[in-house]
Amino acid sequence: MDFDLGEQAAELRARLRALIAEHIAEDYLGAFTDDPADLDVAQRFCKTLADEGLLTVSWPAEYGGGGGSVWEQTVVREEMWAHHEPRGAQYMGLNWVGPAIMAFGSDAQKAQHLSAIAAGDVIWCQGFSEPDAGSDLAALSTKATPDGDGWRITGQKIWTSYAGMAQWCVLAARVGSGERHEGITMFLVPMDTAGITVRPIRSMLGPHHLNEVFFDDVWAGPEAVLGEVGEGWAVIRRALAHERVGIARYARCERLLSALGRELAPVWDGLPPAIPAQWARALIQVRVARLLAYRTVRAQETGEPPDVLASAARIAVTQCDQSVAELLFQAVEDGSLESGAGAPLHGAIEDHWRYAQAATVASGTIEVQRMIVSKALLGGRS
């Protein structure tokens, strides 16, 4: 047994931390705060990472990427999330849109999109969820109707992150009158196409995260179809599998617990006795979540089916996020109600709590993960 991620992973971690220390302020809370300047920081940092050859560490070398191992990809996920995702909205393009285009795209699509994503020039959003198709994504009803050599798309998407700032959307729509997975087709659509309307949804997560997107007779040419017509479910499966291990929430939890220990050091001995014990248990929970995530990555590496492991990891990671959020609040007591630079840990604790409330919903609810785990456990015996 060996839990060392290896020398290359350690070097990559050190390089990323050095770049973050140089370009990202210690109190940076991500691109989606009330201050628009924070988005500019993220956009600039993506260019910096691209210049350093680090934006596409995980991409295969044949597409201009770093050909990084699954463990180097893990390090990127951990360091970015721990430091409030300084790639801002671009991680989605890097994490799964780019790889999906590599797997399913035409030569023209690859030529058009991959270099733009790799250069840190473009923000993508994903048009999956609909008002009546959330966890049950295969119930989606946005229609793509043939029109000449292309398509007319009409429908509504919801919970679409970054829709207000994205230049492109990967859109799932249904061709024909089939049900469930039948007819689902993926389209790559510029967000400035006539007929697209974005309406932000106010939420505790702050601006840009949640939007409704309305498609009203939106034209998409034949070149917009990603993969084969009617074969979109394979693309969605790939995207969701990526998202299941995608967010290393445990890394930010651990960074905040570390910072909390330093922040409260002068008053540590005067804390309610339950707090240090809960802090220790939270560190265990973070370690366990990380190890379950690593188990999933190991399965990817060895070709073991990762689905159930990924769901187990996701249950542990998202619950960890929420219990750490609550512990941090308990530790800072009424300071938890403050936000901004004057709040405990520059507002990072308050920010974390708000984000954590969506952890067990985003990218597939914890209930769906439990269904996957229990189905495997019962082996069809239910």
Partner 1 sequence: MNPVLPDAAAEFGATAAKAFAALGGVHAARRAEEAPDVRGSEVAKALEALGIDEIDPRLDDDNLAAAAALCAEAGRVALPYPLVGVLLRGDDGPFAVVPDDRSRVDHGDLFESWRIATLDGRTGTASPAQQALGSRLGPFVADLASDGATDGPIGDVALHLTLTAWVVLGTSERAVELAVDHVTTRIQFGKPLSAFQAVQFQLADAAVAVAGLRELAHFTLWRLTVAGEAAMVDALALRVHAIDVARSVLRVCQQLHGAAGVCDEYDISVLARHVQPSLRLPCSAERAADELATAIGRDGFEGLFPHERAAP
- Site of interaction with partner 1 (CB under 8 A): 1-6, 71, 78, 82, 251, 254-255, 257-258, 261-262, 265-266, 268-269, 273, 276-277, 279-281, 283-284, 286-292, 294-295, 298, 312, 315-316, 367, 369-371, 373-375, 377-378, 381-382
How far is the C-alpha of 254 from the C-alpha of 350, rounded, in Å? Answer: 15
CB of 10 to partner 1, least distance (A): 11
Q: Are strands 143-147 and 150-158 parallel, antiparallel or unpaired?
A: antiparallel
Q: What residues does 145 pair with on adjacent strands?
A: 152
Nearer to partner 1, 199 or 287 (CB): 287
Q: Are residues 89 and 166 in contact, defined by beta-carbon separation less than 8 angstroms?
A: yes
Residue 42 Cβ, how far from partner 1 at the closest point, in Å?
21
Nearer to partner 1 among residue 77 and residue 113 (C-beta): 77
Q: Which is nearer to partner 1, 138 or 373 (CB)?
A: 373
Query: Which residue number, 137 or 289, has a Cβ lying nearer to partner 1?
Result: 289
Token look-up 């050091």 returns 265
Query: Toward partner 1, which CB reaches closer, 110 or 295?
Result: 295
Residues 93 and 43: beta-carbon distance below 8 Å:
no
Residues in a beta bridge with 184: 174
Question: What sign does the CA torsion over 77, 83, 87, 90 have?
Answer: positive
CB of 326 to partner 1, least distance (A): 16
Greatest CA span in the chain, whole angstroms? 74
In the bound complex, what is the minimum distance in angstroms from residue 369's beta carbon to partner 1? 8
d(CA 107, CA 195): 28
Upper half-sphere CA count for residue 53 (Cβ side, 13 Å):
10
Angle (nearest 5°) at CA 324 between 323 and 327:
90
Closer Cβ to partner 1, 189 or 309, answer by number: 309
Instruction: Supply the minimum distance, in Å, between the C-beta of residue 268 and partner 1.
Output: 7
- From the CB of 266, what's the least distance to partner 1, in Å? 7
Which whole-number Å values give the CA distances from 29 to 81, 197, 279, 345, 372, in the listed order?
Answer: 11, 28, 22, 11, 33
Compute the least distance from the CB of residue 84 to partner 1, in Å.
14
- DSSP output for 222-245: GGGEESSTT-HHHHHHHHHHHHHH
If we measure between CA atoms, which residue out of 105, 368, 114 comes closest to residue 234? 105
| 280/337 with CB nearer partner 1 | 280
Render 115-155 in DSSP notation, one character per residue: HHHHTT---EEEE--BTTBSS-GGG---EEEEETTEEEEEE
**Closest CB 73 distance from partner 1, rounded Å:** 13
Q: Using DSSP, state whether 213 is helix, strand or coil.
A: strand
Rg (CA), the chain: 21
Instruction: Choose between 174 and 290: whose C-beta lies nearer to partner 1.
Output: 290
Helix (H) or strand (E) holding 361: none
What CA–CA distance (Å, rounded) separates 314 from 320? 10
For partner 1, the closer CB: 1 or 194: 1
Q: How far is the CB of 351 from partner 1 (least distance, A)?
A: 17
Q: Which is nearer to partner 1, 185 or 285 (CB)?
A: 285
Instruction: Compute the least distance from the CB of residue 359 to partner 1, in Å.
Output: 15
